[in-house]
Amino acid sequence: MTSRLKKVELHCHLEGAAPPALSLAQARKYNIDVSEYLKDGTYVWHDFASFLECYDKISEVYKSAEDYALLTETYLAELADVGSIYSELIVSPDHGKRIGLGADAYIEGVCEGIRRAREASGIEARLIVTGERHFGPDSVVGAAEYAAKAQNPLITGFNLAGEERMGRVADYARAFDIARDIGLGLTIHAGEVCGAFSVADALDVVRPARIGHGVRAIEDSALVSRLADLGTVLEVCPGSNIALKVFPDFASHPLRKLKEAGVRVTISSDDPPFFHTSLKREYDLAASAFGFSDAEIDQLTRTGIEAAFVDEETRQALLARI
Ligand code: ADE
Ligand code: ZN
């Protein structure tokens, strides 16, 4: 349906994009039992907490720099195949440390995957380093310090993901100060599992250029106006929101209402195989479930490029392709 449209994605967790067949092959390679988390080609979870547990367990079957290169190259090739020209991948150097690979080797593997994919298809990609709330504020500060120290030109953003119900944004403010000081673009998961207050918190404490999800801002009309006035871009992931039961169905999902209220919105797939989706499906849903015309979908894509954490030359080159 949207096959001929160019696509961009600002919100996808690298390990969340792992195809189940690849994760199974990895688990076999390292003799890791994932049968509780991966059955019949499908990731197994039943609520947000068990999704995060499943995500963390599956991430552990990617162990070497080459594993991360392969995972990155595989996902970017899939994106390029459906007309994607730009991708921002959310990565966790702290995860590299936790699995004993080390943050540098983890990031080097991912960057190698980006180089291979760019060479094969021309797709551009950048990395957003994330901290994860459920590993605590110190680990989030560690992620920001890593991003500052790495001085890697492909690392252009900083995010906060994980268990949104753990702590308030203020508990993680120092990490955002570090990331802001070195010029990284800022985005933060909010208004997904927690209500509108978490989006207000993010604006009050961090004032990021973008918010991951942010869709529960719809519960507070003054907050929706504030987002529109500030020009904050929401990285909306409808398929993820329905899979995690943030909204019961697409008919009650607020993507269109937010756009009509003047909020700048984009669409992404978040953790595609975990949520039985893909970027292509999200674009198709924009048409079939939300009734957007091709011109309106191109506008979502353009907003994504305008809000991308890239240098101006790359941004203009991407805009010229829409
Ligand atoms: N980590 C991976 N996917 C996530 C999501 N949808 N929300 C918060 N943290 C995540
Ligand atoms: Zn996310």
Summarised one tens digit per residue, pLDDT across range 87-131 is 999 999 999 999 999 999 999 999 999 999 999 999 999 999 999
The active-site residue out of 192, 219, 260, 312 is 192
Whether residue 253 has its Cβ less than 6 Å from ligand 1: no
| pLDDT tens string 175-222 | 999 999 999 999 999 999 999 999 999 999 999 999 999 999 999 999
Whether residue 95 has its Cβ less than 6 Å from ligand 1: no
Whether residue 161 has its Cβ less than 6 Å from ligand 1: yes
Whether residue 131 has its Cβ less than 6 Å from ligand 1: no
| Helix, strand, coil distribution of the chain in percent, nearest 5 | 55, 15, 30
Cα–Cα distance, 132 to 124 (Å, whole number): 25
Cα–Cα distance, 158 to 90 (Å, whole number): 9
The DSSP letter of residue 284 is: H
Looking at residue 9, its pLDDT comes to 98
Please report where in the chains the tokens 């991912």 appear, as a residue: 110
- Among all bound ligands, the one having the nearest atom to the CA of 162 is 1
Give me the helices (H) in the chain, please.
20-29, 48-59, 65-81, 93-98, 103-121, 137-150, 173-181, 196-205, 221-230, 238-243, 255-260, 279-288, 294-306, 312-319
The alpha carbon of 295 and the centre of ligand 2 are apart by a number of angstroms equal to 26
DSSP 94-124: HHHHHTTS-HHHHHHHHHHHHHHHHHHH--E
Decide: pTM greater than 0.85: yes
- Among all bound ligands, the one having the nearest atom to the CA of 193 is 1
* β-strand partners of 222: none
Task: Name the closest-CA residue to atom 9, ligand 1.
Answer: 162
* β-strand partners of 159: 130
Q: Is the pLDDT of residue 54 over 90?
A: yes
| pLDDT tens string 58-91 | 999 999 999 999 999 999 999 999 999 999 999 9
**Residues 169, 199 contacting (CB under 8 angstroms):** no
CATH number of 7-18+62-319: 3.20.20.140
- Helix 196-205, helix 221-230: angle, nearest 10: 40
Whether residue 16 has its Cβ less than 6 Å from ligand 1: yes
**Residues 180, 208 contacting (CB under 8 angstroms):** no
Index of the ligand 1 atom closest to the CA of residue 193: 7
Looking at residue 75, its pLDDT comes to 98
- Helix 65-81, helix 20-29: angle, nearest 10: 160
The alpha carbon of 293 and the centre of ligand 2 are apart by a number of angstroms equal to 26
Whether residue 13 has its Cβ less than 6 Å from ligand 1: yes
- Among all bound ligands, the one having the nearest atom to the CA of 244 is 1
* Domain spans in the chain, listed from the N-terminal domain onward: 7-18+62-319
Cα–Cα distance, 184 to 127 (Å, whole number): 10
Looking at residue 57, its pLDDT comes to 97
Looking at residue 1, its pLDDT comes to 80
Task: Name the closest-CA residue to atom 1, ligand 1.
Answer: 162
Main-chain phi, psi angles of 46, to 5 degrees: -135, -10
| pLDDT tens string 154-175 | 999 999 999 999 999 999 999 9
Closest by CA to 108, choosing from 76, 137, 136, 67, is 67
Catalytic site residue 313?
A: no
The DSSP letter of residue 193 is: S
The alpha carbon of 189 and the centre of ligand 2 are apart by a number of angstroms equal to 7
The alpha carbon of 296 and the centre of ligand 2 are apart by a number of angstroms equal to 24
Please give the radius of gyration of the chain, using alpha carbons only, rounded to the nearest integer. 18
| pLDDT tens string 243-292 | 999 999 999 999 999 999 999 999 999 999 999 999 999 999 999 999 99
